Chain A
């Protein structure tokens, strides 16, 4: 139990996927202009990361490890993730059009996203059990959501500031991100004894 709590808090705050591990930067920078869209993106990413962690865990331990095919994990994982997201999209379109309107457009963006594949690979590298994997995936998504919400709110206010022409857009976003990463540094050593 203690290990699960440690995993959860470290992946949300200390080893935040975006601000500390550099995963999921493309959607982070792309969708963080508006806080409503950012929240939707964060929720979609959390959902996909959690489910992807679980599904890839199964595929790894039931298909790859018994036949000593661990080296195929990259190919199998990305295949499974892409299939799964496509499947979820179809189910969502049919069962909940409202959800489809809110989150649907973000799902294809998340498929080829380093955060999702990254969390799946990290899970097997750390040798997590199924519960630990689920917590890691969920926490990772939650950490992403926290970061992207902070970023979106800052960028909304940045719109009204006098930024030099050459720094508009990506450069200032990166610098803001570095400030965010700095502030998250304060969480280092959270669990030291």
Chain B
């Protein structure tokens, strides 16, 4: 080897110390040159936001939304998860006028659970709605119905949906904040966001009429138009063999629901 053990120790210390010093200086210099100024208000704003990171505001998480709020690149009512009061508080915090938010709640447009609609197949594939829906709309006798495998349940960040006992999903209106993630996730567009002022909705998506519907579902819309005639404000019309409610006109009187022979119009409490 040729080097005495003393000099090995000395050289090791010098070289290691030198490298360590080099690294330290590099990092120190870098931290001065590459420092990023963070507005303290962002942190405060993040605590005011719900922290669910659901993405309804259009940004990837509450932290991003807060940053964009401060930099003025987002209107102050993009977050639909907070209630009206909090939304106003956030707007006041960053000093802008708030136009207010419209609260929405999700509803399921189907009543075809076990006992109402029979299963048409013994499905043994991937137990997700998205996969099952590929097979002629699923394993229910009515091809427009909710399959109940719970893709919406998995995607809800607030645990407001759960799989019901009867093969449909159940929405907990108290927990639902109207973020709309479930609506996007459902492959059959079964879910709908109702404005919180609306209580009456058509709980069916079947585009078939008359006997074709009653053969598979006891509570489906048969396009008989009795609701159209019963409505005092013409808020409900039957298009494509399916009743549709215009929520701007609807007064929640419920006369359509009373007139419906198959009970396919529901009321959200």
Contact = CB atoms under 8 A, between A and B. Distances in A.
Answer whether A and B touch in the complex at a CB cut-off of 8 Å: yes
Q: What 3 A-B pairs are tightest by C-beta distance, nearest first?
A: A83-B23, A94-B34, A90-B34
Interface stretch (A46-54, A66-74, A114-122): A66-74
A72 B18 CA distance: 13
A130 interface: no
A59 B19 contact: yes
B99 to A, nearest CB: 29
A72 B23 contact: no
A114 B12 CA distance: 25
A10 to B, nearest CB: 32
Contacts of A72: 12, 15-16
- For the residues of A in contact with B, the DSSP-based class is helix
12 contacts: A67-B15, A68-B1, A68-B3, A69-B11, A69-B15, A76-B16, A90-B30, A94-B33, A94-B34, A101-B64, A160-B128, A160-B131
Contact of B16 (A75, A91, A94, A157): A75
Interface of A: 59, 63-64, 67-69, 72, 75-76, 79-80, 83, 86-87, 90-91, 93-95, 101, 157, 160-162
A162 B127 CA distance: 9
B73 interface: no
Interface in B14-54: 15-16, 18-20, 23, 26-27, 30-31, 33-36
Given A79-B19, A80-B23, A83-B23, A93 B12 contact: no
Contacts of B23: 79-80, 83
B26 A87 contact: yes
Nearest to B33: A94
B139 to A, nearest CB: 15
Given A68-B3, A79-B20, A80-B23, A91 B15 contact: no
Nearest to B2: A68
A12 to B, nearest CB: 31
A76 B19 contact: yes
Given A68-B1, A83-B27, A157 B19 contact: no
B253 interface: no
B126 interface: yes
A87 to B, nearest CB: 5
A101 B126 CA distance: 33
Given A68-B3, A160-B127, A90 B31 contact: yes
Contacts of B18: 63
Contacts of A162: 127
Contacts of B126: 157, 160-161
Contact of A64 (B3, B15, B60, B128): B15
A80 B27 CA distance: 11
Interface string B104-141: 00000000000000000000001110010000000000
B58 to A, nearest CB: 15
Contacts of B128: 160
Contacts of A157: 126
A91 B8 CA distance: 37
A175 B23 CA distance: 42
Nearest to B125: A160
B22 to A, nearest CB: 8
B34 A63 contact: no
Nearest to B63: A101
From B23, B127, B128, name the one whose CB has the most chain A CB atoms within 10 angstroms: B23
